[in-house]
Amino acid sequence: MKNSRKPDREEANNDGAQSIRRALDILDLLAAAGLDGMRLTEISRTTSLTPSTAHRILNVLVARDVVEQNQITRRYAVGEQIPMLALARPKRSTLLQAAEPYLRQAAENLGDTIYLTVRVGLDALCIARVFGSFPIQVVTIQIGARRPLGVSAAGVAMLASLPEREAHDIIERNKMRFERYNVQAEHVSRTVQAARKKGYFLRQKGLVQGTRALSVSVPSTAQTPLAALTIGAIDRRLTYQREPEVVEFLTSMTKRIRKTLQQRGQRSPTDGTR
């Protein structure tokens, strides 16, 4: 006789929660992919979902305009509904408000482009960029660019500031995603270990040929996520001789940001977002 037992409410809730988690995992992937989007096969392989399961979730997201599919390339990308939802929270993040004066100060003093990047789950998200006064500015990352932690200089610096086990887990979970950026997980692990010893990360070859990037992490607080300050410059501007000066200045900026956040937290403990 077949078991005709119906799933109880707790089991149904668990199934619903799993579907939501899977949908959010897909949205994270598409956010990182940007306008290029991803094919169903890439999404399925990276999330370890079967093609049929991934396709079913994508169909729901497309129906709600959260995801869109290019009818020519068949690639999926974040849909128009996402920025519409963001309008419901016009308030700028606590971290960005606290960091902006120091981003401008760093760009003014160092003369090169300064980026502020935050950790969002398994990703590094650029949320601010300030140009310096030097005639040649490095513009390798756009505001809103999102990459797996470990791909960018900021991502390596943030991983290096985490406990080793947590950083290892993130690298393992991003392993499949690294393929898109021609990055090997083993290389990321070695790079993170080296950055942990130094307390910062210097990328000798930036995302654009002839450039370099140096990142220093900004510790998280109760109200704000882990972040990183990064300077991007042409290689002859970010030399070994100048490295200690840049590290010292960026480190001082991160301490000031942290102090400002602590002061604001004391005044308004519930202010800000993670």
Q: Distance (Å, rounded) from C-alpha 185 to C-alpha 87?
A: 36
Contact 222, 205 (CB under 8 A): no
Cα distances (angstroms) measured from residue 214 to each of 35, 59, 120, 136: 27, 41, 20, 17
- Please tell me the pTM assigned to this model: 0.77
Query: Mean per-residue pLDDT for 214-239?
Result: 93
What is the overall mean pLDDT for the chain? Answer: 87
Tell me the pLDDT tens digit for each residue of 181-205: 899 999 999 999 999 999 999 998 8
Query: Mean per-residue pLDDT for 234-263?
Result: 94
CB atoms within 10 A of CB 173: 14
Tell me the pLDDT tens digit for each residue of 49-92: 999 999 999 999 999 899 999 999 999 998 888 888 877 766 67
Tell me the pLDDT tens digit for each residue of 11-61: 445 677 888 989 988 988 888 888 889 899 989 988 889 999 999 999 999
φ/ψ of residue 223, rounded to 5: -110, -15
Q: Distance (Å, rounded) from C-alpha 47 to C-alpha 180?
A: 13
Domains of the chain: 9-85 (1.10.10.10), 94-267 (3.30.450.40)
Query: Mean per-residue pLDDT for 102-118?
Result: 96
Residue 125's pLDDT band (boundaries 50, 70, 90)? Answer: very high
Query: Mean per-residue pLDDT for 229-253?
Result: 95
Q: Which two tokens mark 241?
A: 């001789």
With tokens 């499949």, the residue in question is: 176
